Structure 1
Amino acid sequence: MQLYCQSCEKMILAEDVNIELAIAKCRACNAVFNFSETIAAKRRRKPEAKPPKRLEIVDTGSELAIRWKWFTHTVWFLLLFCIFWDGFLVMWYGIGLAQLWAKGGDFGAIVMLLFPVIHVAIGVGLTYFVISTFVNRTSIVVALGQLELRHGPLPWPGSRVLQVIDIEQFYCVENRGSRKSRQSSFELHVLMKNEEKIKLLTALEDEDFALFLEQKLEDHLGIVDEPVVGEYRFD
């Protein structure tokens, strides 16, 4: 995007533009002006997405914070399944330990204890995921020239910090499910100026959620939306 002075119409150099504050200074006439309306006036090639109700958004102009809880009602099914899975393992190991104690190191009892090790690992991972879904939240904060992504309070992979000056574009990617389920989830990616592509968020439940995050971040940072190879096409 090329920016021009609103007073003398001279071209503005990149060094004289403050993207976070949407303010520019003209070297020709020394005029200082806000160009946020210029960016907003640019026609988008994608439909405007409405903010999802569960998002908490604080936009002061210089800083942007977007937060949301992980909890959805679908987690209740996972909770019931988790209780059944873990309960069965507790019963299984209770019987195995009782036999081991009664028979004093019986080989059959040892095999019974070792057999469901993989199931235990699945149970631990599933339990941690369910608990995280109840208590965790994701936050995206843009401030002081940085974009910070955090998941918590329980530790979860994916947290990162990016320098705003290195960001070229945000874009959405569809992650299609199996042929049987025919369900898709969406991801938010970042294209850096060095052409590196970073997966910022995954498992977003619908395209409107992903599109709103893309548009909100681009609007705040003054990034004009441009097509990226491999991005999801919004009809």
Structure 2
Amino acid sequence: MMDVGIPEGMNVSSTSEGLKIERKWFSGVTIFLTVFAVLWNGFLFNWYNHAHNFELFPEKNMLVVLVPLLFVAVGVVLTYYVIASYFNKTIITVNHRTLESKISPFPFGFKKSIPSRSIEQVYCKEITRGINNDIRVLFEVRVILKNRSNITLFSGLESSEQALFLEHEIESYLGIKDVSVKGELS
């Protein structure tokens, strides 16, 4: 594998714990989602604020009250994700004992910890998501363990450079020879 420079939004440092790679979540998508969340929540606030004037809440029809709460739930989750996108970073720590991935400061997902000795190969995969003409390409970094199980270490990367960089740094630190994996990003 060729040497890849440090991509935008990432930071690498050597610490007493080992190699530490940080990736900030903030991207152009965060701006779009911020605007969308403000519009979504603004509409809901306005709707609930004026709904009593339209007599939309008949006493006997609780379904009319409960169904819009699904939209409120979407607004709450969307707002949490947007706030997390401004502040969060994923931190990968690699040492000869473990490979660890965690998200901080806002909890989002689960911390992953993999014994370094169980790692056979690290590779990247291109993931295509979308419907019709709205196709989005994202990248994942995956780990193949010696027992042949396959674990997604990092997903949702917007550039192949970030994925390839993570693969290269982890393999270099752990002394893993880069071997071709079927379906990997080249």
TM-score by length of 1: 0.71
Cα pair 1:188 1:214 within 8 Å, conserved? yes
Aligned to 1:38: none
Which of the pair is proportionally richer in strand? 2
Aligned to 1:68: 23
- 1:214 is aligned, of 140, 163, 167, to 167
CA shift at 1:121, angstroms? 2.0
Q: Deviations over 1:32-71 (max 9, x none)?
A: xxxxxxxxxxxxxx33322113221113698200112111
CA shift at 1:97, angstroms? 4.9
Return the alpha-carbon distance in structure 1 between the equivalents of residues 54 and 173 of structure 2: 64
Identity of aligned residues (%): 34
Cα pair 1:97 1:113 within 8 Å, conserved? no
Aligned to 1:140: 92
Cα pair 2:17 2:93 within 8 Å, conserved? no
Number of aligned residues? 184
List aligned pairs for 1:1-235, cutoff 5 A: 46-59=1-14, 63-97=18-52, 106-107=59-60, 110-143=62-95, 145-178=97-130, 179-232=132-185, 234=186
Higher relative contact order (CA 8 A, sep 6+): 2
Q: Deviations over 1:138-188 (max 9, x none)?
A: 101123511111101111114211110111110001101335134310000
Cα pair 1:187 1:202 within 8 Å, conserved? yes
Return the alpha-carbon distance in structure 1 between the equivalents of residues 73 and 164 of structure 2: 36
Cα pair 2:96 2:174 within 8 Å, conserved? no
TM-score by length of 2: 0.88
Which 5+ residue runs of structure 2 have no aligned equivalent?
none
Q: Please tell me whether Structure 1 or Structure 2 has the larger radius of gyration of its CA atoms.
A: 1
**Residues 192 and 152 of structure 1: CA distance in aligned 2, closer, same or farther (over 3 Å):** same
CA RMSD of aligned residues (A): 2.2
Instruction: Report the AA paired with residue 81 of structure 1.
Output: F
Return the alpha-carbon distance in structure 2 between the equivalents of residues 129 and 62 of structure 1: 29
Return the alpha-carbon distance in structure 2 between the equivalents of residues 159 and 62 of structure 1: 17
Return the alpha-carbon distance in structure 2 between the equivalents of residues 184 and 132 of structure 1: 22
Counterpart of 2:13 in 1: which secondary structure?
Answer: strand
Cα pair 2:96 2:117 within 8 Å, conserved? no
Cα pair 2:93 2:101 within 8 Å, conserved? yes
Cα pair 1:61 1:220 within 8 Å, conserved? no
Return the alpha-carbon distance in structure 2 between the equivalents of residues 159 and 191 of structure 1: 18
Return the alpha-carbon distance in structure 2 between the equivalents of residues 142 and 163 of structure 1: 10
Which 5+ residue runs of structure 1 have no aligned equivalent?
1-45
**Residues 96 and 107 of structure 1: CA distance in aligned 2, closer, same or farther (over 3 Å):** farther
Return the alpha-carbon distance in structure 1 between the equivalents of residues 102 and 67 of structure 2: 38
**Residues 61 and 111 of structure 1: CA distance in aligned 2, closer, same or farther (over 3 Å):** closer
Q: Deviations over 1:115-138 (max 9, x none)?
A: 312212211211111011011111
CA shift at 1:80, angstroms? 1.1
